[in-house]
């Protein structure tokens, strides 16, 4: 069983990754000075191979929104919006600030979207909590609901 979190909307959204994780090619890694430590011998890997690098002091808790091109098959039973994105990060004060800025930059007044948290893998879904939240109240919203409850939060701009 696994919990998945999504943002769903009727419009396409820009993807964002403030996780601090770098996505580089092996060629990029080879050119770095000093070379990052690796489990693999970089000289034996193809230059166009992809690598994830987490810098030593990186804060990996930032906001992440990425297109959900391969959602769990049950997702369509719940989410009816045209566009579905993975929602990630740790719901701390930094994340909330990043999320507010993202919303301000990408949604106009009178629009809305849905935040979903769904637990897949059991025979039937528990009751899904349905709530609304106005954008002006998002700073005080309890995002822990997304971690602990099957829910759909409609955010109204």
Under the banding of pLDDT at 50, 70 and 90, the label for residue 123 is: low
Percent of the chain at pLDDT exceeding 70? 96
Nearest CA among 142, 145, 147 for reference residue 96: 142
Whether omega for the bond prior to residue 11 falls within 30 degrees of 0, making it cis, is no
CA distance 147 to 149: 6
Under the banding of pLDDT at 50, 70 and 90, the label for residue 114 is: very high
Query: Which pLDDT score, from 0 to 100, does residue 122 have?
Result: 66
Under the banding of pLDDT at 50, 70 and 90, the label for residue 68 is: very high
CA distance 123 to 79: 18
């Amino acid at each position: 069983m696994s919990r998945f979190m999504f943002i769903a909307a009727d419009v396409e959204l820009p993807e964002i990754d403030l996780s601090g994780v770098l996505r580089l090619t092996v060629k990029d890694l080879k050119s770095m000075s000093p070379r990052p430590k690796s489990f693999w011998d970089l000289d034996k890997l193809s230059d166009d191979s992809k690598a994830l690098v987490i810098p030593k002091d990186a804060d990996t808790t930032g906001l992440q929104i990425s297109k959900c091109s391969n959602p769990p098959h049950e997702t369509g039973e719940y989410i009816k919006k045209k566009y579905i994105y993975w929602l990630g990060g740790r719901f701390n004060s930094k994340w909330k600030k990043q999320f507010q800025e993202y919303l301000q930059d990408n949604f106009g007044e009178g629009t809305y979207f849905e935040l979903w948290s769904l637990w897949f893998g059991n025979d039937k879904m528990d009751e899904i909590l349905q709530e609304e939240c106005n954008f002006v109240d998002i700073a005080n919203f309890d995002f822990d609901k997304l971690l602990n409850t099957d829910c759909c939060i409609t955010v109204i701009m």
